[in-house]
Every structure is written in C-alpha cells, then in structure tokens.
Structure 1
Amino acid sequence: MKPPLITRIETFEFTVNLRNISGSSSGLGLIYTPGDQGTVGRSAMRIETDAGVSGEAAGQMIMAVRQADLVARFLIGRDARQRNEIYRDLLFELRQHDALAIGLIDICLWDLAGKLYDAPVYELLGGRRRPLRAYASTYHGDRVGGLDSAQAYADFAVRCQQMGYTAFKIHGWIDADPGEEIATIHAVRDAVGDSMALMSDPACAIATFVEAVRVGRACDEAGFAWYEDPLWEGGKSFHVHRMLREKLQTPLLMSEYLRGLMAHTDAAIAGATDILRVDAYQDGGITGAMKIAHVAEGLGLDVEIHSHSPAHRHLMTALRNTNFYEMNLVHPDPKADTSAVNTYTNYRDGLDAIDDQGCVYAPEGPGLGAQVDWDYIHAHRTGGAVYER
C-alpha cells in the first residue's frame, strides 16, 4: 500500500448553545440556572491525505485547536499511519505545554486509519463490540431548584435507576459543605438500595484534608465504588493522596487533572490512587490513552474513561480493565443535559441514550463511525485555520 501522506489539516472553533446553564459564581464550573442561555466554545479537526481518505473528530476543549497552531504544519507530508511516531514527535514539540493538541490530532488519525482499512477503531485496537455499562454523572449542585438538596440527588438517582442505569455519580456543590456532601451520600444510597454502584466526585471542591477524610468515610459507610478527586489542590500532590488512601476503604480515583502517560504512571507508582482516570482528548489521544491503560493493567489497576464521546466508546470497548462509561453531565431538567449537546449527525449521548440494561455501544462502521455535523459547525464557526502544502 502506498503511504497515505497528510496533505491538509483544517481546524475549527465553533460554539454550541446551552440552556438553563451558566458559570458558577466563582467562574470555575457550569451549574444549573433556569432561564439562562449561553454558548460554550468547542473544537473540531479534519486531516486529509493524498489517498483520498480523511480523518475527523469534534472535541471539547477549544484550546486544543489553538495549540495545534504550533505543530500542524510539521505534519504535512507525514505518513498518516505512523501514529506512534507522530505522538512521540508532538510530545517533543509541545514539551513546554500541556500537549492538548495531540488528543484531537491522534483521534483524527485513528478515524482515518479505520476508514483506510475499512474497520471500526475498536477492531484496530483489538476489541470486539460489547455492551458498555453507563453511569449517570450529575451536574454540580445548585441552590435554585435543581440538584439543590440531598433529597433532590436521591430522587434523581431513583429516576436514573428506573431508566435502567446501574450506576450513578454525585458531583456535589462547588461551595462544598462536608455535612451536606455526607448527607447526600447517605440519602442516595438509602434511596437506591444496594443494587446500584455509586460514586462521589467533589471535583477538588473539598477545602481541607480533614474534611476530605470525613466525606471519604461516609463513602466507606455507604459502600461507594469510588471517591474521586476530592482535594482542592487538583491531584498534583501524590503525597497527600497517598495519605488519604491510607485512611479510607473506598477506592480513590485520581488523575483527571494530570496530563499524559508519565504523570499518570508516577501517580500510580507513588500509591496516590487506586484507579486511574484517562481522557483521550486530554492525554495524547487514543494512542496516549491506551498507553496509560496498559500501565494501569500492568500495575493491577483499573482505568476509568472521562466523559462521553465516540472515541471513548471505542477505547472502552477495547479495554479489559475498565468498568463504566460516563454519561456526563446529566440533570433532572432535560434541557440542561450537556451530555446531549451533539455535533454528530448519526451519533448521540444523553441521559436517555442508554438501552434498557443501562448500556451503550461503540458506533459501527469504518473509523469512529460517527459523522461530524459539518453543516452545524460551519454555521457556528468562530475561528480556525488551514495548513497545507
């Protein structure tokens, strides 16, 4: 086969509309705000080759395509099949940055490879199509009639359970009060019984170590599946997370806010976490995410994939040491369900995107099997660039 050489890369910045959602008072997160309407920036990319095959993907972080300005021109003329070499070279070129651009580039190259070989990405990764057990991952708490109390979380968990979900994750309040977090943990467990897997993710909102231990021990009492990123420092201190692990029975999940293979490996070896978190968009694409998953497997650990996307369904399908697909972020108000914000024409996530067993599947068809909605993206485009010979 003649090498398919990259001839053109186009990046896209665009906006998607949000309803009943706004930034928190701190400006550090999205919370439920009835009546508010706004937009959030998203990114997409298309990589074309002289073989007439292209790879494409729509992402989440707009900074990824802005960072691509630093490296995209170096990819023109490269063999699009050489994903590992490109991954390595991009890491070098972006060594002074967080390397977010690698994620979107690599996902496009995997989509391209699947189209080139007429196979879905999960088959190229060695997987077979199977049901992926999903969990409902909530918004942060609010004070305006949505997820505004322990009872509101409990009621929503029961609703999700009745829909078919077998797992539910609590994102508590950004202005976290440990007593309120603890009450919510117990209220949700009491409401759904023992048959539903539960998780707590304060998203780094717990202010002190002592408070993080208190909330973690409530997770112990309620039999939670994991306790995720509680500490305010964002997962950067392996020492403090190792101390927290030693005081709890519930598995600790940490590393969403780390970037790349080396940081995840160091966190696991340092004993800072029981479960690794990985995101193909943030951790070097599917290539980088597979490397992290294999490190975790070698150490006897599980890896959980952050948030929803076609790429993440393919990734999860090919992994043994993973448990749940994150439907993120969901809310009792269906108009505020950001997991349902869609930039594909033949694929969707969302609270109601599961089957009656609470599962989802990787798309079928070559590559990612998900067609980017280019009409929508062009209509809402705010920026981007073209790189070609």
Structure 2
Amino acid sequence: MPVQVIKVVTDEGVEGVCTVGDWRYTELNWQQIATLRELAVGEDPLDRDRLWSKLSAASRFLNPVWWGGFDNCLWDIAGKVAGLPVAELLGGARKSGSAYYNTAGATVEALIRDGEEGLAAGFTTLKDHLAFSFQENIRAFGLFRDAFGDEIGLMHDAALTSYNFDEALEVGKALEAAGFIWFEEPIDDRLHAENKRLCELLDIPIAGAETLMHDPVLGEFWLRSGATDVLRVNARHGLTAVNRLAHIASELGANVEPNSYGPLFGLAHAHVVCGIENVDWFETAPPADGAAMGIEIGLLNPVVPKNGTVTYPATPGLGAEWDWKQFEKKRIAVL
C-alpha cells in the first residue's frame, strides 16, 4: 500500500513532516496538491486557524478536511518553533497514556487466546470486533468476562456486525450487565435518531460517529445532539479538528477518543492521548503491523506500547526521527 509523506518548509527552513493519512486514506490527489500549493504558499504557517478556514472555504467540491496531513505538519512546525512537543501545545495533560489491545480471532476461543497474549504483554483493557449474530455475541461477552476476570477492562466494537435497533438495545443491556466500558458503533452512524435513542435508553457509553470523522461539523452535531456519548476522531483529519472537537466535548462533559493507530505511525495519536485531558485511550491497531510499516520507510521511532501505555517523544514538534537514506530507497515518486 502506498504511503504519502508530506513535508512543509517555512521561509526560515523549519520543516513539518507527517504522513498524509494513517494506514488508510493515505493519498492526496493532484487537484488537492495543486490547491494546497495555490492557497498555502506564502501564508503564515503558525496561523493554523486562518489556513484551516481558507482551505475549508475553498473545498466546496472536495472532501471535507482532506488537508489533515498538511495541518499536522503545521503543528509539527509550531512545536519546533516553540521548542515544545505537540502534546504540550495540546494541553500537556499527562506524560503517558493508556492503550487498549484489539483482539483478533475467528472463534471465541481464538479471541480469548489472543486476549491472553495481550494481557501478557501488559495491556489491561481489551476490545473485541465480534462479527457473529447478536445472540452469539451476547454469549461471548459472558465468556470473555469469565475468562479475563472482573479487573480487566472490556469494550465491544460492532463495526463488523449489522445490528438493527432492537438487537443493539439488547446487546447494550448485555454489555452493561457484563461491565463493559463502552459500546462502539452499535448501528449505522448515519441513523441519527436511532443512535440518539440508544444513548437515551442505555447507561453504557455509546462511542460513535467513526464513519463521520471526515467531517468534523457532523461529529460536532452528533455529539451536541446526544447521538453519541464518546466521539471517535482521527488525526488524519488534522490535529486542529481533533483539538477543536475535544474542547467542545469537554464543555459537554464528554470525551473524544482516537480511532486506530493514526498518522505518522502512532506518533500523532500519542501526542493526542497525552496532550488532551478528555482523551483516555490509545488504540493500538489497525494495522497490526503499523510499527513495521513505519520502520520500512525509514521512521525510526514509531509508537510501540509498553506495558499497556504509550508516550510521546520529548523533542519539539511531533518528534519523528527519520533515516532519510532508507526513506529515499523506498520513495517511488515526488508530487
């Protein structure tokens, strides 16, 4: 899979570097690159809000916040100019953050074995992506709790299922009984009224709007209107969007939580989980081999959780360390 890396250079020679996406959505097309060059060159790289507003206004017929990788480069530059890690620019909430382990397996037994491997690696919270019927999934919740015990945090992500409203409600009640932390994407995110009703009827937090992350305006609406309790975000859509949504969520007493490994092979999300107060979790996958993907193209310090925690580089900016000779070996084009 091709990975685009974007570099933004200021007149003073300060460089901001980030991947365009995470392990998915990794490419800017020629039209977007041309738009960036036309609208961004000559602007103040430290005036992120002006650039965000300008690019947003010019993107009527383009995907929302397609410039997330560019925005992340501006945060990298801002940190280097200030002499601070991006986590501190975001608020400096903590020096390390908790990571959860995504279990994998085709059967409940295989999922339990994989969960035990995660626990042996130091994780204390596990998330499943069960893809069975809602009745089979409900049975699995009890088996997970019996196998892992009451002290282990458990989450259920229903992205691989297709619950209807009544099934999701029954699943949610079963998750409450089993003491799960949250119920993620219980039904199609776009079913606004149904998601709002689930949030009203269930005590377990609903983590949602993941398929709407590309449009922060929709995410804000879902959160403000009560159609999700925990808003899923991804820094591939820009740290500015994540930070703005986090402030809105904080006003509402809610969290935003990063989806997947994130841009720059975990580094961007490590800054998010450590920098922002109302973020509790770092998601370690997908992809399962994210760190290896980064190393392959020359990134020397992709994020690898240790004992269920992650931290960020103490150096200014995003803190990426590159072997540029290795990068050049792998590079196939310059756009």
Runs of at least 5 residues in structure 1 that lack an aligned partner in the other structure? 1-39, 140-146, 331-335
Mean Cα displacement is larger for which, 243-252 or 99-108?
Answer: 243-252
CA distance in 2, matches of 1:310, 1:264: 23
Equivalent residue letter for 2:168:
A
Q: Secondary structure at the match of 1:109?
A: helix
CA contact (8 A) 1:44 1:65 kept: no
| 1:318-329 → structure 2 map (5 Å cutoff) | 318-329=275-286
Aligned match for 2:133, one of 177, 189, 193 = 177
Quote the offset at 1:337 in angstroms: 3.6
Q: Is the 8 A contact 1:344 1:373 kept in 2?
A: yes
Q: Which residue of 1 aligns with 2:235?
A: 280
1:42 and 1:292, CA in 2 relative to 1: closer, same or farther beyond 3 A? same
- Which of 135, 138, 158 is the equivalent residue of 2:103? 138
> Counterpart of 1:249 in structure 2: which amino acid?
D
Residue 174 of structure 2: aligned partner: 218
TM-superposition CA deviations, 1:65-118 (whole Å, max 9, x none):
226325212111111111111011111112333324221011011111212222
For 2:93 and 2:250, the matched residues in 1 are separated by 19
Match in the other structure for 1:7: none
**2:46 equivalent among 70, 81, 98:** 81
Give the AA of the match of 2:140: T
Whether 1:65 aligns to 2:28 is yes
Give yes or no for contact 1:170–1:201 (8 Å, CA) kept in 2.
yes
Aligned mates of 1:236, 1:382 — CA distance in 2: 38
More moved, 208-217 vs 372-381: 372-381
Partner of 2:222: 267
Partner Cα separation in structure 1 for residue 15 and residue 290 of structure 2: 28
Say which SS state the counterpart of residue 307 (structure 1) adopts. Answer: coil
Matched with 2:142 is 186
Q: Which structure 2 residues correspond to residues 247-326 of structure 1 after superposition, within 5 A?
A: 247-258=201-212, 259-282=214-237, 285-308=238-261, 309-326=266-283
1:55 Cα offset (Å):
0.4
Distance verdict in 2 for CA 1:117–1:191, change over 3 Å: same
Matched residue, 1:228: 184
Residue 32 of structure 1 corresponds to none
Shift of 1:292: 0.2
Q: Structure 1's 93 and 384: CA in aligned 2 closer, same or farther, altered over 3 A?
A: farther
Any conservation in 1 of the 2:87–2:276 contact (CA below 8 Å)?
A: no
Partner of 1:164: 122
User: Residue 142 of structure 2: SS of its match in structure 1?
Assistant: helix
Give the aligned residue type for 2:195.
Answer: H
Identical-pair percentage = 32
The verdict on how the C-alpha distance between 1:211 and 1:137 changes in structure 2, with shifts beyond 3 A counting, is same
* Corresponding residue for residue 109 of structure 1: 74
Q: Is the 8 A contact 1:239 1:272 kept in 2?
A: yes
Q: Following TM superposition, where does structure 1 have runs of at least 4 consecutive aligned residues deviating by more than 6 angstroms?
A: none
Q: 1:213 to 1:128 in 2, by over 3 A?
A: closer
Matched with 1:370 is 320
Shift of 1:383: 4.6
Residues 347, 370 of structure 1: 8 Å contact kept: yes
Aligned partner (choices 45, 51, 58) of residue 93 of structure 1: 58
1:208 CA drift (Å)? 2.0
Is the strand fraction higher in 1 or 2?
1
Cα distance per residue 1:131-160 (max 9 Å; x no partner): 201101234xxxxxxx01111112222221
Deviates more, 1:293-302 or 1:63-72: 63-72
State the shift of 1:64 in Å.
4.5
Specify every segment of 5 or more residues in structure 2 that has no aligned partner in the other structure, as ranges: none
Deviation, 1:41, is 3.0
- CA distance, structure 1, for counterparts of residue 195 and residue 5 of structure 2: 35
Q: Quick one: structure 1 residues 63 and 323, their matched pair in 2 at CA, closer, same or farther if it must change by over 3 Å? A: closer
By how many angstroms is 1:263 displaced? 1.1
Contact in 2 for aligned 1:110/1:286 (Cα 8 Å)? yes
TM-score, structure 2 as length reference: 0.89
Q: Is the 8 A contact 1:136 1:327 kept in 2?
A: yes
Cα distance per residue 1:219-269 (max 9 Å; x no partner): 1121110000121x3x11210101222332211011111133321221012
- Amino acid in structure 1 at the alignment position of 2:305: I
Cα 1:219–1:55 change in 2 (3 A) is same
Q: Do the aligned partners of residues 326 and 161 (structure 1) sit closer, same or farther apart at CA in structure 2, a change above 3 Å counting?
A: same
Higher alpha-carbon deviation: 289-298 or 207-216 = 207-216
Select the residue among 341, 348, 353 that pairs with 2:293: 341
**TM-score (structure 1 length as normaliser):** 0.77
RMSD between aligned residues: 2.1
Q: Is the alpha carbon distance of 1:359 and 1:63 closer, same or farther for their aligned partners in structure 2, counting shifts above 3 Å?
A: closer
Q: Offset at 1:128? A: 5.4
